[in-house]
Amino acid sequence: MSENPTKSYKGPGMNGVIGTWYAKNTQKKIEKYTRDAKKVLKALSDGDTVLELAPGPGYLSIELAKLGDFQISGVDISDKFVHMAQNNAGKAGVDVDFRHGDAAQIPFDDESFNLVVCRAAFKNFAQPVIALNEMKRVLKPGGKAVIIDFKGDVPKADINKFVTDDMGFKGLNAMIIKWMFRNVVIKQAYTKEKFMAFVKESNFETCDLKEGLIGIEAWLER
Ligand SMILES: C[S@@+](CC[C@H](N)C(=O)[O-])C[C@H]1O[C@@H](n2cnc3c(N)ncnc32)[C@H](O)[C@@H]1O
């Protein structure tokens, strides 16, 4: 069973110290959000509407807002992250509508967005197929959804390489992050095959999926 309707997220919630730790550590690697914002930018035109699903501290949406004239919204289940993202957008001087909501019940009308982006969060959703159907529902005809996340079944050596070479962590921090990746993040994430099985079960008909060392990038079209 892939769906668990009793809880909206898998794993620990991010309302407490985990959320603060996550926001602080990911902000140190802001260039990763800028890189992903630039990937998304290629699919957008000025004036387009964008939804970031599960934006956490909001860094991707904020970086995207700096790159063009878009109407960006963000929906996250964690109140702490919604407030943090609103605060971060204010400090950055950009206008993003961050609000509380569940990926399984996105608080927007049908056909509201040209693009939905979801980064490092799809594996956290308790109801992944329903989340995919919700993404499709809020997309305008011809609109695209992009899901960027870690993948399951990554060998330990590749996790270690990613944490030290790509993320640049050293010493004790590197040890903690490697442990977290092995025991939490990668365990929650889906293999390419599992992800494609969710897509097949969903209302989406096309999916262009690319695999990296420890992640996947999937483009879906309404
Ligand atoms: C690992 S964080 C990623 C945050 C951000 N996308 C990033 O790249 O830094 C996972 C996020 O998913 C959110 N989340 C988990 N389940 C959710 C759900 N059902 N609906 C909306 N957000 C959810 C969490 O609150 C958290 O912000």
Note whether 165 and 105 are same-domain residues: no
CA 96, CA 13: separation in Å to the nearest integer?
Answer: 23
Per-residue confidence (pLDDT) for residue 195, from 0 to 100: 97
Note whether 30 and 121 are same-domain residues: yes
Note whether 66 and 167 are same-domain residues: no
In a domain, 166, yes or no: yes
Alpha carbon of 146 to ligand 1 centroid (Å): 15
Atom of ligand 1 nearest to the CA of 102: 20
The structure tokens 């990937």 sit at 39
Q: Which CATH number is 117's domain given?
A: 3.40.50.150
Per-residue confidence (pLDDT) for residue 1, from 0 to 100: 44
49-100 pLDDT, tens digit each: 999 999 999 999 999 999 999 999 999 999 999 999 999 999 999 999 999 9
Note whether 101 and 168 are same-domain residues: no
In a domain, 2, yes or no: no
Please count the structural domains in the chain.
Answer: 2
Which range marks the domain in which residue 105 is found? 17-152+190-221
Per-residue confidence (pLDDT) for residue 9, from 0 to 100: 79
The pLDDT confidence band at residue 29, using thresholds 50, 70 and 90, is confident
Rounded to the nearest integer, the mean pLDDT of the chain is 93
CA 222, CA 219: separation in Å to the nearest integer?
Answer: 10
- Residues in CB range of 91: below 8 A, 6 or more apart: none
Note whether 164 and 95 are same-domain residues: no
In a domain, 184, yes or no: yes
Note whether 55 and 118 are same-domain residues: yes
In a domain, 114, yes or no: yes
- Arithmetic mean of pLDDT, 167-192: 91
- Arithmetic mean of pLDDT, 21-47: 93
Beta bridge partner(s), residue 123: none
- Arithmetic mean of pLDDT, 21-29: 87
Alpha carbon of 58 to ligand 1 centroid (Å): 10
In a domain, 9, yes or no: no
Note whether 72 and 166 are same-domain residues: no
The pLDDT confidence band at residue 169, using thresholds 50, 70 and 90, is confident
Note whether 133 and 174 are same-domain residues: no
Residue 115, judged by CB atoms within 10 A of its CB (0-12, 13-18, 19+), counts as buried
What percent of the chain lies above the pLDDT cut of 90?
Answer: 81
Residue 170 or residue 103, greater confidence: 103
The pLDDT confidence band at residue 10, using thresholds 50, 70 and 90, is confident
Per-residue confidence (pLDDT) for residue 182, from 0 to 100: 92
Note whether 86 and 176 are same-domain residues: no
What percent of the chain lies above the pLDDT cut of 70?
Answer: 96
Ligand 1: list residues with CB < 6 Å.
8-9, 14, 26, 54-56, 60, 76-78, 81, 102-104, 119-121, 124-125
Alpha carbon of 9 to ligand 1 centroid (Å): 8
- Residues in CB range of 102: below 8 A, 6 or more apart: 8, 75, 77
Note whether 71 and 112 are same-domain residues: yes
Task: Flag whether pLDDT at 25 surpasses 90.
Answer: no
Task: Flag whether pLDDT at 2 surpasses 80.
Answer: no
Its pTM stands at 0.94
CA 132, CA 63: separation in Å to the nearest integer?
Answer: 24
In a domain, 5, yes or no: no
State the DSSP H helix or E strand holding residue 38, giving kind and residue range, or none if neither: helix 30-41
Atom of ligand 1 nearest to the CA of 78: 25
Alpha carbon of 56 to ligand 1 centroid (Å): 5
- Residues in CB range of 56: below 8 A, 6 or more apart: 14, 19, 22, 23, 26, 76, 78, 81, 84, 85, 120, 121
Note whether 47 and 146 are same-domain residues: yes
Say if strands 139-150 and 215-221 run parallel, antiparallel, or are unpaired: antiparallel
Task: Flag whether pLDDT at 40 surpasses 90.
Answer: yes
Nearest CA to 215 among 186, 174, 177? 186
